[in-house]
Chain A
């Protein structure tokens, strides 16, 4: 199980890094989401014990999952979401601002989005 967890964490992280290296901003955001997922999984797997959920009444004689890492990960998931929300907001602004600029001035060939076929109306 240890090997499987390590493998999955590293695959998530590696896929995230790969996406992060793309030019497309949405994909970069996806990369960050994957990397934070990898981090969350790592923290949970690093718990000192694994077993039943730490909720009273505790079953006698059985191992209980480490509640400390769970509290940490809870925080991490929520904060991660906040970060991604800001990031997506920035990405949105970047695209719309660039598009607005293109509408005003056209791209280097002088075309404006309105004069382009829909597939080409890409701000990037």
Chain B
């Protein structure tokens, strides 16, 4: 295997693991968790072994310029590491969590298998998304994440809330994904390539770039749950904790800002777009932060916190601080997944999800309190954690931009500080208010490991910084060094951090005086927010669809057929009116030798008319067979004896079959039922209209002067070579022998079907 194929190793491992867990788990549910954890571990090591800058380039549809291109650049490596690393922690956690969860919800262990394979599928989609260098491949994996997240969020499919949350997430991220596809098509048609590096090398500032950039940005912001498309994320908290810990910290929501980073050179060309992104980021920070303070349910608090935290990232990306954004994503993913998992562990231990009924858990669950505390310290940006640096890079970027942005940045960070304390302090400090059950070590261990990683990253900042610097380099296409260290001198970021802590402590201490305010905001949001807007929109759409169906749909089969016929007639009529084709109609000659042909045609038409007028079914059948036999005669005179013979045979069988059916039907059925059919006039009108438009079409086509009969002559000349005197036989049995074989098969199957209808036992 060539060296560069190691780039694909994580993707292949995750994909194979997904299938293995799904298949083996169906047979032995107990095998699923260890297998899933092993897959994640293997994928993580494959990611670590990925050659930096390696690239795989396979032709996919070369004539369209589509290639399967995957590259392990800095950005891809960072996200792949997150997807597999956090994935490993989450799957380990799930192995302990899901059996408890299944026992609570009262379903068998075998049903949890789906969760493991879906999480692995999501990991596959994320890996494909971040490695892809081709826009089409990227879009496919983007959609795969949306679809997989639908199943993961709606994991508790019996619960209505769960299904609704899944649908909301799918609608918000799926509809916005269409904008991404649109942008992809625009870029592809403009630049003639779907290769992202080639596109990014060619883009020039202008309205086109602004428009496509805006389309991509909307898709990315919806995925990252940014205001005003944020409302799907808090709803998605109905999913089991492993899903939230994975999708809503390191994977799904991170995909949005990943896309912003991937197309950063394109977005950077439009200052207006950058300013919109800046405003959107701050709006998310403010709304997410305030609403996090209003939440009582611990996972929803974390969800709003995620909205706010990705607001930070969007702000940094729009300020051009790409390496800082990369570092922020890394730090936040570790912190937030640890916090989500500790929330789930707390709920499993106490059975509570409400902050008002939690407290004092530091004593019964010390290890969890430490792991969760380290992560919370990171979220609150305390020193000796990665969080300190995440705010440092953020403040550095903000202070470069100026006063207003700096003030807003500090305000956002104060909110983070306050809700972080609300979360950790609310759970682990104060009075113990609930019964505590023992929880397995697998619930605590991943939290502790991630918490320690957050602390380690705060003490030894270099490895994470170099990862982020490499990611920044591949986003901005320039060197973006990132050096993180503790400064004792008073430069702007440090000063801002100190102000944040002071204000944060003040906010926490004065909490009882302002707690009502965020709840008011939350209530206003519920009533007038985008969530409500989307709900009303869906209701209106459903009503519109139902009304238009009631208006348009023809429920009666007969009139539905009539609709098709009349519509076709209208199209033909319109064509005639708009482009009169009169000169092409020819009457044709009627030599005396054609008189027999003419008479039999007349007979066929008259018999057909009789069939429509027949009162009894027997007359109908006889009239029909008269049409068939007349046509057989027509075929004879038109120079087609083979067709005439077959028509004669088939017509005989058809007549016998029809008579047999009439005979088999119960007494009275052979005679026609009394005419109780409404609207005879309408039916006749449709018949005339149909006759008219078919006549126009047929006359037009048959009037077309026949070109030199090359095709026919070729067949005529070839027939002797097939040792056949009859050319039609030669065509059927030789030139198109395979077609005839297919036809025989169809007839055999059709007659077998008919036979089953006729001979199968009566349902008595």
State yes or no: do A and B come from one complex. Answer: yes
Interface residues of A (CB under 8 A from B): 1-24, 26-27, 29-30, 33-34, 37-38, 40-42, 44-58, 64-68, 70-71, 73-75, 77-86, 88-93, 95-97, 99-100, 113, 118-124
Q: Which residue of chain B has its CB nearest to the CB of A87?
A: B754
User: Does B658 count as interface, using CB distance less than 8 angstroms?
Assistant: yes
User: Does B581 count as interface, using CB distance less than 8 angstroms?
Assistant: no
Main secondary structure of the interface of A (DSSP, over half): helix
Residues of chain B in range 657-672 having any CB-CB distance to chain A below 8 Å: 657-658, 661-662, 664-669, 671-672
Partner of A77, one of B562, B643, B725: B643
Do A37 and B627 form a contact, CB below 8 Å, given A22-B677, A65-B640?
yes
Q: Do residues A12 and B604 form an inter-chain contact, with CB atoms below 8 A?
A: yes
13 additional A-B pairs beyond A1-B590, A75-B732, A121-B668, beta carbons within 8 Å, are A5-B702, A26-B658, A34-B627, A52-B639, A68-B711, A70-B643, A73-B640, A82-B751, A92-B661, A95-B669, A96-B762, A113-B666, A124-B673
- Chain A interface: which of B53-61, B141-149, B742-750? B742-750
Interface residues of B (CB under 8 A from A): 558-559, 561-562, 565, 586-590, 594, 597-598, 601-602, 604-605, 608-609, 611-612, 617, 620-621, 624, 627-628, 631, 634-635, 638-643, 646-647, 650, 653-654, 657-658, 661-662, 664-669, 671-673, 677, 683-684, 686-688, 690-692, 694-695, 698-699, 701-703, 706-707, 709, 711-712, 715-716, 719-720, 724-728, 731-732, 736, 739-740, 743, 746-747, 750-751, 753-758, 762-764
Do A70 and B751 form a contact, CB below 8 Å, given A15-B612, A89-B758?
no
- With a CB–CB cut-off of 8 A, which chain A residues contact B686? 17-18, 21
30 contacts between A and B (CB under 8 A): A2-B703, A5-B601, A8-B604, A9-B694, A10-B692, A12-B627, A15-B691, A22-B683, A27-B620, A30-B620, A30-B621, A40-B647, A44-B634, A44-B643, A46-B702, A54-B715, A54-B726, A55-B641, A55-B726, A56-B724, A57-B725, A65-B640, A68-B712, A75-B743, A85-B750, A88-B657, A93-B757, A95-B665, A122-B668, A123-B666
- With a CB–CB cut-off of 8 A, which chain B residues contact A8? 601-602, 604-605
| A104 CB → nearest B CB, Å | 8
Q: Which residue of chain A has its CB nearest to the CB of B662?
A: A26
Main secondary structure of the interface of B (DSSP, over half): helix
- With a CB–CB cut-off of 8 A, which chain A residues contact B673? 24, 122, 124
- With a CB–CB cut-off of 8 A, which chain B residues contact A12? 604-605, 608, 627
| 10 nearest A-B pairs in the assembled complex, by CB-CB distance | A14-B691, A89-B757, A65-B639, A2-B588, A18-B687, A82-B750, A10-B695, A6-B699, A54-B727, A89-B754
- With a CB–CB cut-off of 8 A, which chain B residues contact A23? 558, 677
- Give Cα A53 to B731, complex, Å: 14
- With a CB–CB cut-off of 8 A, which chain A residues contact B639? 50-54, 64-65
Q: Which residue of chain B has its CB nearest to the CB of A121?
A: B668
- Give Cα A21 to B731, complex, Å: 38
Q: Do residues B653 and A56 form an inter-chain contact, with CB atoms below 8 A?
A: no
- With a CB–CB cut-off of 8 A, which chain A residues contact B712? 47-49, 54, 64, 66-68
- With a CB–CB cut-off of 8 A, which chain B residues contact A113? 666
Q: Do residues B728 and A54 form an inter-chain contact, with CB atoms below 8 A?
A: yes
Q: Do residues A58 and B611 form an inter-chain contact, with CB atoms below 8 A?
A: no
| B521 CB → nearest A CB, Å | 62
- With a CB–CB cut-off of 8 A, which chain A residues contact B726? 54-56
- With a CB–CB cut-off of 8 A, which chain B residues contact A15? 608-609, 611-612, 687, 691
Q: Which residue of chain B has its CB nearest to the CB of A43?
A: B643
Partner of A86, one of B665, B740, B757: B757
Q: Which residue of chain A has its CB nearest to the CB of B756?
A: A89
Q: Which residue of chain A has its CB nearest to the CB of B702?
A: A2
Q: Which residue of chain B has its CB nearest to the CB of A113?
A: B666
- With a CB–CB cut-off of 8 A, which chain A residues contact B669? 95, 121-124
Q: Do residues A70 and B642 form an inter-chain contact, with CB atoms below 8 A?
A: yes
- With a CB–CB cut-off of 8 A, which chain A residues contact B628? 33, 37
Q: Do residues A37 and B588 form an inter-chain contact, with CB atoms below 8 A?
A: no
Q: Which residue of chain A has its CB nearest to the CB of B671?
A: A119
Q: Do residues B646 and A74 form an inter-chain contact, with CB atoms below 8 A?
A: yes
Q: Do residues B640 and A70 form an inter-chain contact, with CB atoms below 8 A?
A: yes
- With a CB–CB cut-off of 8 A, which chain A residues contact B646? 74, 77-78
- With a CB–CB cut-off of 8 A, which chain A residues contact B609? 11, 15
Do A86 and B754 form a contact, CB below 8 Å, given A14-B690, A38-B694, A54-B727?
yes
Q: Which residue of chain B has its CB nearest to the CB of A97?
A: B763
- With a CB–CB cut-off of 8 A, which chain A residues contact B608? 11-12, 15-16, 34
Q: Do residues B598 and A91 form an inter-chain contact, with CB atoms below 8 A?
A: no
Q: Do residues B558 and A21 form an inter-chain contact, with CB atoms below 8 A?
A: yes
